[in-house]
Structure 1
Amino acid sequence: MKKHSEVLREAIEEMIAVGKLPPGHHLDETELAKEFGVSRTPIREALIQLASMGIIVIRPRRGAIVAEIGPQQLIEMFEVMAELEAMCARLAARRMSPAGHATLKATHLACEEARDSADSDAYFYKNEEFHQQIYIGSQNSFLEEQARVLQRRLRPYRRLQLRVRNRVQASFDEHGAVVDAIIEGKGELAAELLRQHIMIQGQRFTDLIASLPKPAGKTA
């Protein structure tokens, strides 16, 4: 059974991922404790966990805020994410079992259902599951762990990407090509397809930057 602080950490992390707590937002322990109906102690423990993951920043004598990522750092993080996922795809094409192929196709089908619902947030969750199946398929537990860590750091931004017009459809189509390459054992093709799927550059980058919420306390 998960500790109370872990459950709270996941709940707060989810609020950050879906934009309820935007970058730069001050996290008041008393307000959070009241919202969740708990004491401040497990809230404080949850915030310490989130700080260790880089999702929030705890400032001495000023409290905690949701981490803000600048454009240059965002590019760098997506570059690393693209390479990690490309490596996962390459290994998955070599190592994924027939059962893994079946699960991957099932998660792809779930993405299709979410796409057809015209709900970008529903697609966001199914999209995460799809990528995680590729991490698992690499059969490299260290690589899987690193990919999951960075995926979590980038959750709010990957979600915003999917709100750009026509991005959900494009994402689904790109998934289909990756699935085919992995199942056919074409490692280099799978790696390149997934790398391009993740990279933000050109118009995709400007669209993402335009969609970012303004940091707390700042106006245009």
Structure 2
Amino acid sequence: MARSKSQPTLVEVTENDVPRRRNRINFFELAYQRIEEMLVTCALQPGRFLTMQDLQDMTGFGRTPVHHAVNRLAADTLIVIRPRHGLQIAPIDLARERVLLRLRRDIERFVIRLAAERSGPSHRNQMLHMERLLRDKRDSLTLAEFNTLDRRIDQMILAAAGEPFLEHTLRPLHTLFRRIGFIHHSYMAGDARLDGTIDCHIAVLNAVANRHVERAVEASDTLIAFVDGMFDVMETRIDPSLLDCSVEPLLGA
């Protein structure tokens, strides 16, 4: 009797393969979040030149996650890749970013409307909890603490809106204006208090959580107008070296 041909061996995927893939994705996201945070707080100064290795050393992540993060941030126009010269943290152009604020206003109107219309009980519960947290800690929040909560608020609104495409559109805009807020509150004398921006966020959360669509859109416009007011101050009072570190700082700054 002829021997039967052996059956082809199936490649078995074990459970151990799944965490490795998930961990790799987490490293990509964590590297992005870490670099984005350093951009917002100007630990990576606008205008600064550096290398991929510099970012690896600063973040503690390996080449692949950092490379992945840099490509995303370059697409977001936050980092400039200069062939044969390394990387540059994009200088801040106040005139350009003020134009982009108008774009954010229009997109936010659409997102806020969707969030107010589509939010489910879980979304609304999270927003009301965040609203209470902001009210309770209104007078004691540090800028770093507020920025952490601000990221979560952005995520809540986008989750309630239920359209994944919007996250990729708004993410770089949120980063740009979170950095503007950081510079404004950190370096503009007399403008360190956060109660104005906190009150704007409370109004947005309350309106969306209660599904008051038009009031939510109005609250969003008020928040954008608050940010626009920061530009009025910064355009006349900001030290230019804070917007581009290659510029010589002003005497006495």
TM-score normalised by structure 1 residue count: 0.83
Conserved 8 A contact 1:157-1:208? no
1:206/1:142 CA distance change after superposition, 3 Å: same
1:109/1:47 CA distance change after superposition, 3 Å: same
**Structure 2: segments with no counterpart, 5+ residues:** 1-22
Cα distance in 2 for partners of 1:102, 1:217 equals 47
AA matched with 1:141: P
1:186/1:49 CA distance change after superposition, 3 Å: closer
Conserved 8 A contact 2:115-2:160? yes
1:2/1:108 CA distance change after superposition, 3 Å: farther
Cα distance in 2 for partners of 1:8, 1:180 equals 33
Question: Which of these two proteins has the greater Rg computed from alpha carbons?
Answer: 2
Q: Which of these residues, 22, 31, 46, is aligned with residue 23 of structure 1?
A: 46
The question of 1:183 aligning with 2:206 is answered no
The question of 1:194 aligning with 2:220 is answered yes
The answer for the alignment partner of 1:2 in structure 2 is 24
Cα distance in 2 for partners of 1:139, 1:160 equals 31
C-alpha deviation, 1:191, in angstroms:
0.7
1:211/1:124 CA distance change after superposition, 3 Å: farther
Q: Deviations over 1:108-133 (max 9, x none)?
A: 23334553334112111112212321
Please say which of residues 3-12 and 24-33 is displaced more in the overlay: 3-12
AA matched with 2:24: K
Conserved 8 A contact 1:33-1:39? yes
Cα distance in 2 for partners of 1:72, 1:96 equals 35
Cα distance in 2 for partners of 1:39, 1:166 equals 36
Conserved 8 A contact 2:79-2:87? yes
Query: Tell me, what secondary structure is at the counterpart of 1:154?
Result: helix
Please say which of residues 159-168 and 9-18 is displaced more in the overlay: 159-168
TM-score normalised by structure 2 residue count: 0.74
Q: Which of these residues, 226, 229, 233, is aligned with residue 207 of structure 1?
A: 233
Please say which of residues 37-46 and 99-108 is displaced more in the overlay: 37-46
Cα distance in 2 for partners of 1:42, 1:177 equals 37
**Structure 1: segments with no counterpart, 5+ residues:** none
1:63/1:106 CA distance change after superposition, 3 Å: same
AA matched with 2:162: Q
The answer for the alignment partner of 1:158 in structure 2 is 181
Percent of aligned pairs sharing the same letter: 25
Superposed, 1:114-129 pairs within 5 Å as 114-129=137-152
AA matched with 1:121: A
1:36/1:116 CA distance change after superposition, 3 Å: same
1:183/1:43 CA distance change after superposition, 3 Å: closer
Number of aligned residues? 219
1:192/1:167 CA distance change after superposition, 3 Å: farther
